[in-house]
Structure 1
């Protein structure tokens, strides 16, 4: 499993072109906040991320409502650790694709695209929620590349689906939806199917095979087959050990 996501993220951001020297003079965080309050589809928080410096310069207090973490304790290193293990490769592959995309545009065009992708992140209570990560560039020069980031809880809208990257064009620029990205980062560990995760989740809730079969409307034989396959994939010695591994590694 990818472990040092923050380190890989910094390597990606270190490749950002240093030649551009532009600032979005029309950006007003107060105006954006008012618009967000009107149009957002769920609870959200916003940040200013200095990508060049790998540092969050602003985190809005709403983060405590969305993720349960106090503003002062939240930084990029913590954020990287909170990404769901199964979504880490998507997260890093998306950021690598973003770096390549913005290397192909210049000047005012840098401000005419919104990056948008989703992934799961761990709440302070230990459960995962799905966030929609959206950001725009507001400054780009040799010393600072600042982005305005909005992360919205969309768990009620999208569940157990593959993360998707899109570039949304602004002021007449074309949009690119569900972008294919290079498979640079991969999961090194057991890959459980969606149904296996369903079974594992119900086992973790304290149900036995027969109860799981009734909840999921599948046969007990199918549940037992899933359990056997998961034990083999995870090299766990028992269901209890497999459940502990699932919580520790974020499989459910």
Structure 2
């Protein structure tokens, strides 16, 4: 069992987030980020659990390099309006109460990720949960995943691929938070951001979910059946059903829907 608690962060302004990336440094790589991220982007449509869009940001120049998915459907922003512009165009859709919290989570994540060894970086993933205004002007819960990065020779982020998914069909309330999942040691950290407030300490024992169970959980969240998942892994359907039953038992949930909601609320997805 993993011992788990919340870490509290202080709100951060956008300009402080930019300094975290190193706004004045010189980019020293020439790879095409769209070509580099193409395999990951291909998986978005395959594993999406709701409406989604993605964008590639250049945090040094503070501009969006490329975007796709259901961008206009979800935000009303056209791709040609976003590409070449500041990511502030996206930030404006974040709920005002969650915006500086999102900057705090991102700042912490950049510092945390930068200091990881190159061997650990592929195993560590951050997800932020916040309220985001859709094209109709309605705030809905979304999941923001920092899906992939292009690093320079010093290990600093030159391009970042971000995926934003509507999870309002699963998450209805709560507060903005971030989870950092490390599959190298099966640990999951969670973070909250409070404006000078207090949070009563609450610890929870999260189940130890194996890497294969985690993969199954993510496919279940994307709506795959046991037969479809078995086909993806080229293993028996019974094996997938056993993984699903183990997940239900470990999380004390009674259905796939409850299991997926548990996975999102506790940072496993």
- Give the TM bin, normalised by the shorter chain: 0.5 to 0.7
RMSD (Å) for aligned C-alpha atoms: 3.7
Paired with 1:86 and 1:72, the residues of 2 have a C-alpha distance of 28
Summarize the Cα distance change of 1:106–1:16 in structure 2 as closer, same or farther, 3 Å threshold: farther
Q: 1:115 aligns with which of 126, 135, 142?
A: 126
- For residue 127 of structure 1, what is the aligned residue in structure 2? 138
TM-score (ref. length: structure 2): 0.56
Instruction: List aligned pairs for 1:1-252, cutoff 5 A.
Output: 5-14=13-22, 28-74=36-82, 75-141=86-152, 145-169=158-182, 173-180=184-191, 183=193, 186=195
TM-fit CA distance, 1:85: 1.0
Q: Structure 2: how far apart are the matches of 1:175 and 1:82?
A: 33
CA shift, 1:178, in A, is 4.3
Q: Secondary structure at the match of 2:107?
A: helix
Q: CA deviation at 1:134?
A: 0.5
For the pair shown, the structure with the greater C-alpha radius of gyration is 1
- Provide structure 1 residue ranges, at least 5 long, that are not aligned to the other structure: 189-252
Comparing both chains, which one has the higher relative contact order based on Cα–Cα distances under 8 Å and sequence gaps of 6 or more? 2
In structure 2, how many angstroms separate the alpha carbons of the residues matched to 1:68 and 1:175? Answer: 38
Structure (1/2) with the larger strand percentage: 2
- For residues 67 and 175 of structure 1, the distance between their equivalents in structure 2, rounded to whole angstroms, comes to 35
Deviation, structure 1 residue 105: 0.5
State the Cα distance separating 1:153 from its structure 2 match: 0.7
Q: Does structure 2 retain, via aligned residues, the 8 Å contact 1:113–1:136?
A: no
Partners of 1:24 and 1:111 in 2: CA distance: 20
Q: Which runs of 5+ in 2 are unaligned?
A: 1-11, 198-269
How many residue pairs get aligned? The number is 181
CA contact (8 A) 2:151 2:157 kept: yes
The structure-2 alpha-carbon separation of the partners of 1:16 and 1:38, relative to structure 1 and needing over 3 Å to count, comes to farther
Q: Is the 8 A contact 2:127 2:180 kept in 1?
A: yes
8 A Cα contact 1:47 1:150, kept in partner? yes
